[in-house]
Amino acid sequence: MSEPARIGLLGHGTVGGAFADLVAERADAVAEIAGRRPEISGILRRSEGDFDEVLASSDIVIELIGGTEPAREYVLRALEAGKHVVTANKQLVAQHGDELFDAARDAGVQLRFEAAVAGAVPVIRVIQESLGATEIAKVFGIVNGTTNFILTEMAKTGASFSDVLARAQELGYAEADPTDDVSGADAAAKMAILARLAFGTPVGLEDVSFEGITDIQPDDLAYAKDLGLSLKLLGVAERREGGLSVRVFPCFLYGGHPLAPIEGPFNAVMVEAPAITEITMSGPGAGGLATATAVLGDVVSILSGEAPVHVPGERLEVVRDVASSFYLHLEVADRPGVLAAVADVLGKNGISVRSVVQRGTGQEARLVMVMHETPERAFYSALSELAKLDFMRATPRAIRVIEEEFV
């Protein structure tokens, strides 16, 4: 049997602790598949260990600290020292990808990060390797389990965003500081990584526009149910007009959509390409053991052979004004002519209406509409005109809708 593969572990928290246990449990199985037995040769955490010693005693460095510093410095130093690196850190790869991939290429070592997107679901490997030679048109999905849990609970119980968030924190589905998740920043980092791999172009966090779910109201979900829609926080990376669009936004889906049944903390990613039509992958997006499983899978890949080399292609232009269809919620005065005035503003901006539901009377009167696809700039200009109409009782609320129906 060959020499053991020495693993230096940076971080021993939820994922790092689960990974150390998993290595102890599965070392023989890894040795059978990959020819070398992994063993933890050093651990660094805030309260334990020394980075230089861990580095010197390892062949592979696993970064499970999180955040950008000191994770970035440690990962760069490990790559420069000729060590393979595995990380689960999406912000690190999304914000410093160019620098890290260059360092790995220069040193002739592997940088793997399967666990950084969709936890245990092997989306990176599929996009980078299985579909490595396929021209991908679009990658999209639900890549944040915390927000999917919150939206699922809001739809089921009718409770408010803040009540459901508090429950998610109690259950361990949301962190004490949930900002990154609920603002869409976490999903944006994951979409930057997926876009970079799918389109072979440098994509950073600054190229991704994102919106979160903090403004979603329980009645948006109630009306959506009536219209046969379900609400998800969606990440979309696609080729558009010779460029690239990477966005994260809350969005209604029709019942037949493959992502509509993805509920609770689960993740799902779809890849579309002319050659393959579409592939959907789903599963647990987080959790210590699930994430550690993806990290160990990367270790097996490193021990088994070569990793794809990242030679970024030309930088693609980021297209910001894409076309979308929208759901629109208007709280209006209950009087004649309101619907005609709304239709007039929409018509002047070239927006056509797919469906309208009138709800309530008096102080409760509302118009709930779904539009056909329209350039977003035109829609937002109509929205600001609508907000100024004298019969509007509250600021209009708009949420995107994916019109595509799957059969």
Ligand X SMILES: NC(=O)c1ccc[n+]([C@@H]2O[C@H](COP(=O)([O-])OP(=O)(O)OC[C@H]3O[C@@H](n4cnc5c(N)ncnc54)[C@H](OP(=O)(O)O)[C@@H]3O)[C@@H](O)[C@H]2O)c1
Question: In this chain, which of 22, 27, 54, 65 binds ligand X, going by CB under 6 A?
Answer: 65
Do the beta carbons of residue 192 and residue 235 sit within 8 Å? no
| Segment 339 to 368, residues that bind ligand X, using CB under 6 A | none
- The CB-of-272 to ligand X minimum distance in angstroms stands at 25
- The CB-of-109 to ligand X minimum distance in angstroms stands at 20
Tally of CB atoms within 10 A around 376? 17
Task: Give the C-alpha separation, 123 to 283, whole Å.
Answer: 10
Q: Which is nearer to ligand X, 53 or 106 (CB)?
A: 53
- Which amino acid would we find at residue 249? F
Number of residues that bind ligand X (CB under 6 A): 21
Task: Give the C-alpha separation, 42 to 162, whole Å.
Answer: 41
| Segment 377 to 396, residues that bind ligand X, using CB under 6 A | none
Residue number of the CB atom closest to ligand X: 13
- The pattern of x and - marking residues 125 through 154 that bind ligand X according to CB under 6 A reads ------------------------------
Q: Is 55 among the residues that bind ligand X (CB under 6 A)? A: no
Q: Is 85 among the residues that bind ligand X (CB under 6 A)? A: no
- Which amino acid would we find at residue 335? R
| Segment 99 to 128, residues that bind ligand X, using CB under 6 A | 115, 119
Choose the binding region for ligand X from 58-66, 124-132, 227-235, 246-254 (rule: CB under 6 A): 58-66
- The CB-of-288 to ligand X minimum distance in angstroms stands at 6
264: alpha, beta or left? (left if phi > 0; alpha if psi -120 to 50): left
- The pattern of x and - marking residues 12 through 51 that bind ligand X according to CB under 6 A reads xxxxx---------------------------xxxx----
Q: Is 11 among the residues that bind ligand X (CB under 6 A)? A: yes
**Strand pairing report for 111-112 and 209-210:** unpaired
131: alpha, beta or left? (left if phi > 0; alpha if psi -120 to 50): alpha
- What is the dihedral sign for C-alpha 31, 117, 89, 197? positive
Tokens 């021990």 appear where? 303
Close Cβ partners of 90 (under 8 Å, ≥ 6 residues apart): 113, 116, 117, 186, 189, 190, 193
Choose the binding region for ligand X from 165-173, 203-211, 221-229, 283-291 (rule: CB under 6 A): 283-291
- The pattern of x and - marking residues 284 through 303 that bind ligand X according to CB under 6 A reads --xx---x------------
Rounded to 10°, the helix 185-199/90-107 angle is: 30
348: annotated active-site residue: no
Q: Which is nearer to ligand X, 11 or 396 (CB)?
A: 11
Task: Give the C-alpha separation, 237 to 126, whole Å.
Answer: 16
Task: Give the C-alpha separation, 329 to 220, whole Å.
Answer: 8
The site for ligand X (CB under 6 A) is made up of: 11-16, 44-47, 64-66, 70, 88-89, 115, 119, 286-287, 291
Enzyme catalytic residues: 190
